[in-house]
Amino acid sequence: MRFAWVVLLASAAFGQEEVKNPHTSPSDVAAGAKIFRSHCAECHGFAGEGGRAPKLTTGVFFHGGTDADLFRNITDGIPGTAMPSVFFSQDQVWQIVAYVRSLSTGNARPPLGDAQRGAQLFHQQKCTGCHLARGEGGVRGPDLSMIGSQRSLEYLRQAILEPGAKVLREYWVARITTENGSKYAGFVLNEDTHYVQLLDFSHGLETLPKREFREFHIEKSSVMPSYGGILSAKDADDLVAYLWSLQRRKGDER
Ligand code: HEC
Ligand code: HEC
């Protein structure tokens, strides 16, 4: 087995023969799914729908989409990113590759809406007041410039219609009142025993000494307004289509 793999790799290097996953049976996919849920889901989502790490369901892989690319990226991780290397046998890695592939079959369906109209709505609805999306925009919410590569369609829809449903820790809002009565509200960038570093909504970056706090509490709800009652179903579809079109491109840094 090991010998065969080396030969395959060597020939792939010369571009003569494509490396093919030798483990693609339904039981391999099931075994891969099991490993995925325990080792990958915390970042990529339970079924690869995306979360802290990109979704793996579109059939498009930024770091290479051949079997050999997937095998390499899963075995070695992706240097300079949060994607770790793993300690599974080669057979197990192939089973994971089989599972990851199974996530994209028929799943790369394009969104329903009209992305161009969605782009107009994005400005009209003042989403840019808080979000950056390839151009001008605010920093009161996440940068959405590559959100289409990171999240599933369902997630995007929910993020717009019910923003409170899943709020990442870095977007919890800290409210601080100091001894002299100054008030702050913003995202906590850093906190240690003595200081809180805050991205304050009106004052920008502030480093505040805790001993001067009279009040300090954290709200785990989103500052993003809910658009559930404001947007029509078509508006929501169009916005989702626009966000989906914001895919990561070669040369993008993160
Ligand atoms: C600690 C978080 C984390 C864990 C755990 C993790 N990944 Fe990742 N993974 C990432 C991040 C972040 C990226 C994106 C790297 C980048 O491009 O910046 C990534 C990228 C990838 C890619 C490349 C996607 C592409 O578009 O080319 C694949 C495939 C992948 N991961 C599969 C897995 C598998 C399978 C596992 C479990 C064995 C796993 N990952 C575990 C964080 C993680
Ligand atoms: C008052 C500021 C504000 C406005 C206005 C706003 N957002 Fe948000 N948005 C946020 C914050 C903060 C978060 C992160 C917390 C959360 O997930 O709810 C967020 C999260 C999101 C996410 C999820 C991002 C991720 O990484 O998971 C999407 C998608 C999104 N917003 C789209 C929109 C769209 C589309 C509009 C306009 C219709 C909009 N937002 C208007 C502040 C805002």
Q: Which of 21, 38, 43, 92 to mutate to test the pocket of ligand 1 (most atoms within 8 A of CB)?
A: 43
- Residues belonging to the chain: 254
Q: Note the ligand closest to the C-alpha atom of 225.
A: 2
Neighbour count for residue 246 (Cβ, 10 Å): 21
Two structure tokens written together for 100? 């990851």
Does any ligand 2 atom lie closer than 6 A to the CB of residue 142?
yes
Output the six-digit token pair for 126. Answer: 């003042």
Q: 215-220 contacts: CB < 8 A, separation 24 or more?
A: 215/175, 215/176, 215/177, 216/174, 216/175, 216/176, 216/177, 217/174, 217/175, 218/172, 218/173, 218/174, 218/175, 218/188, 219/172, 219/173, 219/174, 219/175, 220/167, 220/172
Q: Which of 128, 131, 243 to mutate to test the pocket of ligand 2 (most atoms within 8 A of CB)?
A: 131
Name the closest-CA residue to atom 5, ligand 1: 40
Q: Per residue of the chain (254 residues), what is the pLDDT tens digit? A: 444 455 455 444 544 457 899 999 999 999 999 999 999 999 999 999 888 899 898 777 888 888 999 999 999 999 989 999 999 999 999 999 999 999 986 555 667 899 999 999 999 999 999 999 988 788 888 899 988 887 778 888 989 999 887 787 788 899 999 999 999 999 999 999 999 999 998 888 999 999 999 999 999 888 899 999 899 999 999 999 999 889 877 666 54
Give the distance (Å) from ligand 2 centre to CA of residue 229: 16
Please report which ligand is nearest the Cα atom of 249.
1
Give tens-digit pLDDT for 195-223.
Answer: 999 999 888 899 999 999 999 999 988 88
Q: Which amino acid would we find at residue 39?
A: H
Percent of the chain with pLDDT over 70: 89
Q: Is the beta carbon of 188 within 6 A of some atom in ligand 1?
A: no
User: Which ligand sits nearest to residue 70's alpha carbon?
Assistant: 1
